Structure 1
Amino acid sequence: MKTSLKSKIGIAFVILGFISPVFGLIVPLFGFNTTITASLVTFFLVGGPEIFLLIGGILAGKEGVQLVKGKVKKLFGLPEEDYPAGSTQYRIGVVCILLWLFLVIFPGYIPHIFEMPLVRDNLFYLSIGTDLLLILGVFVFGGHQMITKISEIIRWQPWKLGSNRS
């Protein structure tokens, strides 16, 4: 698939959004004064990723999403074209997504969970694990059906009122 320069730039911004927190960890090594260091670290950890992802998504568009989807599928050894997921495969994808949702939302309601040594010491790995659950659920197990259903949820459609009044 031939991609446009605009999509490639958009994908570069998306990648920059994902790796910009690493830059936040490197900034203190440059020896800037405290104000500049704090500002740059805050930007790279809090505001920068969102800005880069937004710009990247706008520039990449549908073509960029298709390109990234193909690369992710290739990474997992799946065919790049749309493929149907079997019933069991689809259900595993739904379980992965629901487990991800549970692990992302539920800990916020448990007081002091992030102070527990097991969670505190492994928070980075737990975060990566939950993100992998979502990726596996949508792209690997869910197949084209899952991506289509998610896009239907996001896409606005006019409301059609039924006229079945008795």
Structure 2
Amino acid sequence: MKTSLKSKIGITFVVLGFISPVFGLIVPFLGFNTTITTSLITFFLVGGPEVFLLLGSFLAGKEGVKLVKGKVKKLFGLPEEDYAANSSQYRIGVICILLWLFLIIFPGYVPHFFEMPLVRENLFYLSIGTDLLLILGVFVFGGNQMVTKISEIVRWEPWKLPEKKVKN
């Protein structure tokens, strides 16, 4: 399968999303002032991976998503073609996605969450863990059903309001 330049750029952004937390470890050694260092580390650990993954998925399109999906499945020893998940696999996938969503949103509502010693010392592992939860939930446990449902969420479809019944 020949891959377009747009898909290759998108896949590059997806890969960058996965490895950007590593850049957060390199930033302190670059000699920037404290404000810039803190901002860059925060971006590379907290917001950057999600931005890169989202941008990459838009650029890669369906072709790139299929290519990455096949590679991820191969990595976990799953068949590259579409497969149906059983009900327990699907439920585990939904739990992984909900847990990922909670871990991404919750810290924003807790003052000084990133200043807690346990979180501050393990932020890199927390970031990688949350990204892995999403990947596991969608690609590994969710099967083709999960990918189909997620694609239905972002696809626009015309919708008509139900007709009102007139009372006589």
Measured in 2, the distance between the counterparts of 1:150 and 1:129 equals 21
Distance in 1 between residues matched to 2:44 and 2:119, nearest whole Å: 24
Q: CA deviation at 1:62?
A: 1.0
TM-score, normalising length from structure 2?
Answer: 0.75
Deviation at 1:80, TM superposition (A): 0.6
The amino acid that maps onto 1:156 is W
Q: How does 1:67-146 map to 2 (within 5 A)?
A: 67-146=67-146
Partner Cα separation in structure 2 for residue 11 and residue 62 of structure 1: 11
Q: Secondary structure at the match of 1:158?
A: coil
- For 2:78, give the aligned amino acid: L
Distance 2:61 2:131 in 1: 22
| CA displacement at 1:75 relative to structure 2 | 0.7
Secondary structure of the equivalent of 1:61? Answer: helix
SS in 1 for 2:163: coil
What is residue 66 of structure 1 aligned with on the other side? 66
Q: Which position in structure 1 is the counterpart of 2:153?
A: 153
Question: What is the correspondence of 1:1-40 to structure 2 with a 5 Å cutoff?
Answer: 1-16=1-16, 18-19=18-19, 22=22
Partner SS for 1:165: coil
Cα distance in 1 between the residues matched to 2:56 and 2:2 = 18
The alignment-based identity, stated in percent, is 83
Verify the 8 A CA contact 2:21 2:127 in the aligned structure 1: no
Cα shift at 1:111: 2.5
CA RMSD of aligned residues (A): 3.5
Normalised by the length of structure 1, the TM-score is: 0.76
Question: 2:122 corresponds to which letter in structure 1?
Answer: N
SS for the counterpart of 2:111 is: coil
Q: 1:119 to 1:43 in 2, by over 3 A?
A: closer
How many residues are matched? Answer: 165
Deviations 1:70-119 (A, max 9, x none): 11111111111110000001001111111111111122222222222111
What amino acid is the match of 1:14?
A: V
Q: Using a 3 Å threshold, how does the CA distance of structure 1 residues 54 and 137 change in structure 2: closer, same or farther?
A: closer
C-alpha spacing 1:164/1:81, structure 2 compared with 1 (3 Å): farther
In structure 2, what is the Cα distance between the partners aligned to 1:119 and 1:98? 20
